[in-house]
């Protein structure tokens, strides 16, 4: 069962808006570091390219990730555990990136700040635990029929969980952007690859690497 063309289109948009655009804008700002700064700081109030990243970066991430994950739920996962996992990832990414658009952080994305910053921070507390658990559930489900995809999702879930913990660690403040990207970007890749290659377990005759 091959993925339809529109899934590939969504995958390209997700990579372009979620990875290529943020890193391109980061490279254009000498005061910004992808290693040390949050992704949200690109869209912070007063940031030079805030409107661009919010409208053409974060917002398309929400739309395309929802489409891809709904497709995974409906057409790619056959057991309840995997479907619940995909829904958790969908809500996690939607909360994190959607609220980043509606409630952009203050400059520097401080722990304490305006009421808008408090809402923004709350979104992160929802996105990462929910996304990590969801990816792990997807991985456990997929390992029975797609070993490579299962391990990929498990790795992404662990990466998102570890990234979240390390972002909160005071001694990792200089690497918080790197930890965030580890979780977010690996989640994007897992969602894309699963949407394209996974087949429902009830159509498989045995474990496969990539189908």
Contact indicator for 13, 60 with CB cutoff of 8 Å? yes
Which alpha helices (H) appear in the chain, and where do they start and end?
5-15, 21-27, 50-53, 59-71, 80-102, 115-142, 147-168, 176-197
User: Residue 205 pLDDT more than 70?
Assistant: no
Predicted confidence (pLDDT) per residue in 76-93, tens digit: 887 899 999 999 999 999
Contact indicator for 163, 183 with CB cutoff of 8 Å? yes
Enter the pTM of the model: 0.91
Furthest C-alpha separation in the chain: 55
pLDDT band at 40 (very low <50, low <70, confident <90, very high): very high
Predicted confidence (pLDDT) per residue in 15-31, tens digit: 999 999 999 999 999 99
The pLDDT score that the predictor gives to residue 1 is 59
Predicted confidence (pLDDT) per residue in 45-85, tens digit: 999 999 999 999 999 999 999 999 999 998 888 789 999 99
* Residue 59 backbone zone (phi > 0: left; psi -120 to 50: alpha; other: beta): alpha
In the three-class reduction of DSSP (H, G, I as helix; E, B as strand; rest coil), residue 19 is classed as helix
Of 128, 182, 122, 116, nearest to 155 by C-alpha is 182
The pLDDT score that the predictor gives to residue 43 is 96
Among 32-41, 74-83, 147-156, the minimum mean pLDDT is found in 74-83
pLDDT band at 209 (very low <50, low <70, confident <90, very high): very low
Which residue's structure tokens are 């910053």?
117
**190-207: average pLDDT:** 73
């Amino acid at each position: 069962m091959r993925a339809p063309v529109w899934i590939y289109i969504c995958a390209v948009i997700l990579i372009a808006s979620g990875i290529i655009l943020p890193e391109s804008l980061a490279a254009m700002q000498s005061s910004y570091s992808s290693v040390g700064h949050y992704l949200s700081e690109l869209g912070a109030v007063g940031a030079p390219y805030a409107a661009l990243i919010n409208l053409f970066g974060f917002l398309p991430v929400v739309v395309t990730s929802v489409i891809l994950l709904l497709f995974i739920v409906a057409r790619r996962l056959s057991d309840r555990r995997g479907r619940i996992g995909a829904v958790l990832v969908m809500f996690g990414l939607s909360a994190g990136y959607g609220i980043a658009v509606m409630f952009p952080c203050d400059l520097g994305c401080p722990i304490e700040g305006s009421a808008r910053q408090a809402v923004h921070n709350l979104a992160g507390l929802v996105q990462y635990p929910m996304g990590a658990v969801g990816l792990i559930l997807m991985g456990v489900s997929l390992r029975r029929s797609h070993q490579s995809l299962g391990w990929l999702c498990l790795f992404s879930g662990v990466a998102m969980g570890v990234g979240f913990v390390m972002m909160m660690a005071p001694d990792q403040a200089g690497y918080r952007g790197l930890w965030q990207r580890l979780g977010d970007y690996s989640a994007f890749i897992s969602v894309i690859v699963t949407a394209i290659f996974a087949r429902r377990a009830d159509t498989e005759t045995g474990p496969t690497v990539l189908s």
